[in-house]
Amino acid sequence: MAAARVIVSVSSSSFLLFKAAATPLLRTNMLKPCFNTHNNRFVSSKRFFTCTALYKPHFQIKEEGQPETLDYRVFFVDNSGKKVSPWHDIPLHVGDGTFNFIVEIPKESSAKMEVATDEIYTPIKQDTKKGKLRYYPYNINWNYGLLPQTWEDPSLANNDVDGAFGDNDPVDVVEIGESRANVGQLMKVKPLGCLAMIDEGELDWKIVAISLDDPRASRVNDVDDVEKHFPGTLMAIRDWFRDYKIPDGKPANKFGLGNKAANKDYALKVIAETNESWSKLVKRSIPAGELSLV
């Protein structure tokens, strides 16, 4: 494996330094839910940005291995160099109805990057199938990733969506803003709606959200606003996720909730429920199986 690279600098050519606020990092066994009731392949970008999160130390991205190899990993580390989990250690809620969103796949790219939920510290890696790196058959047109501290419980049936069980992953986010993010970037987003995708019988929620830094963010607050300010986007998201497996010879994915995007309130309900499921998971109230809780 290639030597690790920690990328930290104050220059504009550097990558991923998190500017943080006041609350110290909590270990996962102490955490509580945030709610009360030129080609299409991955290119390693090294552009500087800052984000404010709910913990005190500065966090950095640590790359191990080379992009587009089986060994490549993107770890999160704190200011002492200790690895932390982007799934478990980054807070979900940042207040005022906004949430932390971790980018796995930048818009207009096709490498299927994902948090490795079964590896210690759950780094971001490129997914594989039969030992080969996975790519979507075409670019994804939005920033795509996960909400930390959420989990779709595979033992929990959802009566609203034909009794489908969760897919054993964190909740996915489709961020529709105009900027292209970086792998591992932490963004503040507000949910606008959600789609209930059913993938081979498993429920795989897609939260539609927008970065607070997007120029149109203040005008977009629910699904009706998406159609007004981003016309055709909701249908395009649904169709993209419906059809992306077809080139591999698999059937189209299906959608619940009338095949339409539910509104913001429903999306918040999904987030609250999956945050509660995650809390039970890390408290070991639910068997973790092969999932890493570190």
Residue 135 is a catalytic residue: no
In the set 72, 136, 144, 244, the catalytic residue is: 136
Task: Give the Å distances, CA to CA, from 196 to 48, 128, 266, 294.
Answer: 34, 25, 11, 28
8 A C-beta contact, residue 76 and residue 150? no
Closest CA to 184 of 36, 62, 266: 62
| Apex 62 CA angle, 102 and 111, nearest 5 | 55
8 A C-beta contact, residue 74 and residue 183? yes
Query: Which residues, in sequence order, are bridge partners of residue 90?
Result: none
Q: Where are the extended beta strands (E) located within 97-134?
A: 98-105, 109-111, 113-115, 124-126, 128-129, 132-133
Separate counts of helices (H) and strands (E) for the chain: 3, 20
Tokens coding 18: 């998190």
Tokens coding 47: 């552009």
> Which are the catalytic amino acids?
136
